[in-house]
Amino acid sequence: MGEAEFIGMLVIALGTLIGVAVAIGKPLSENTKAMTALTLNINHLSEKLDTMDKEFKAHKQEFEKYKEHVTDSQKRQWDDINKNTDDIKEVQHKIELLHPEGR
């Protein structure tokens, strides 16, 4: 094998190695970029979910306070209704005593 053949084979071997490196390196580089973008997106979504979770917990606490307020308010209303019903019955009884039927 002569010097020219050796250089030719070396050029072909180097060309092949460079081709294989490019064929492997380019997809790896693109994959790395895609993974980085996905990681950033997942981190962003995670932060948003954390924020939404905090807001939901705050909203849930406010709603529980509101429910307690409404429950207390309704209890007061029913207490007043029952008191007024008792007062009405008492007044009706007094009226019946003052104006008996048949007179």
Tokens of 3: 């010097």
pLDDT of residue 79: 95
pLDDT of residue 6: 87
Q: Model pTM?
A: 0.53
pLDDT per position as a tens digit, 7-61: 889 899 999 999 998 899 999 999 999 999 999 999 999 999 999 999 999 999 9
pLDDT band at 4 (very low <50, low <70, confident <90, very high): confident
pLDDT band at 96 (very low <50, low <70, confident <90, very high): confident
